[in-house]
């Protein structure tokens, strides 16, 4: 579970706490969605360009390591080597993604590499205490955020 206010991610497997990892989440003007998001894609390295998600030319990073897709609209949990290391566990500075400390090229011994190596497509990442709304059910596999009555009524496909 990512707690955007505490700047931490608690990683659990079968209910057991494996680690508490410092993170940076979305900044005040570009907060991270709250809610449960399902990992749908895992990329060792990818390019992230703000133009593809409505941020104009604010960023274009050709080699983002350990990129884990959480929504169809472009929310990722990913390695970050370009931010000051003090932001991890201390402040939220991203454009809506969840960032973990990493090194250029991606390091297996970094928090991002550690998490990437222990994750699978289909795992659920929950974000709490962000200033944004709950992720929409049709933005990725966000149906986890619907109540059972709405799910049964078929609103997930409308």
Residue positions annotated with a catalytic role: 78, 97
Distance of alpha carbon 81 from alpha carbon 113, whole angstroms: 12
Q: Facing residues of 3 across strands?
A: 8, 128
Q: Judge contact between 61 and 82, C-beta under 8 A.
A: yes
* Residue whose pair of structure tokens reads 């974000």 in the numeric block: 127
């Amino acid at each position: 579970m990512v707690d955007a206010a505490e700047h931490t991610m608690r990683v659990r497997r079968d209910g057991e706490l494996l680690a508490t990892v410092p993170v940076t989440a979305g900044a005040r003007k570009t907060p991270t969605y709250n809610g449960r998001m399902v990992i749908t894609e895992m990329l060792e390295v990818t390019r992230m360009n703000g133009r593809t998600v409505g941020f104009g030319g604010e960023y274009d990073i050709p080699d983002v390591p350990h990129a884990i897709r959480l929504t169809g609209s472009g929310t990722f949990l990913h390695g970050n080597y370009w931010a000051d290391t003090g932001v991890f566990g201390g402040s939220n500075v991203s454009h809506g993604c969840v960032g973990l400390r990493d090194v250029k090229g991606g390091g297996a011994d970094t928090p991002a590499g550690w998490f990437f190596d222990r994750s699978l497509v289909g795992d659920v990442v929950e974000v709490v205490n962000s200033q944004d709304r709950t992720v929409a059910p049709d933005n990725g596999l966000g149906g986890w955020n619907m109540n059972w009555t709405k799910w049964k009524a078929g609103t997930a496909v409308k």
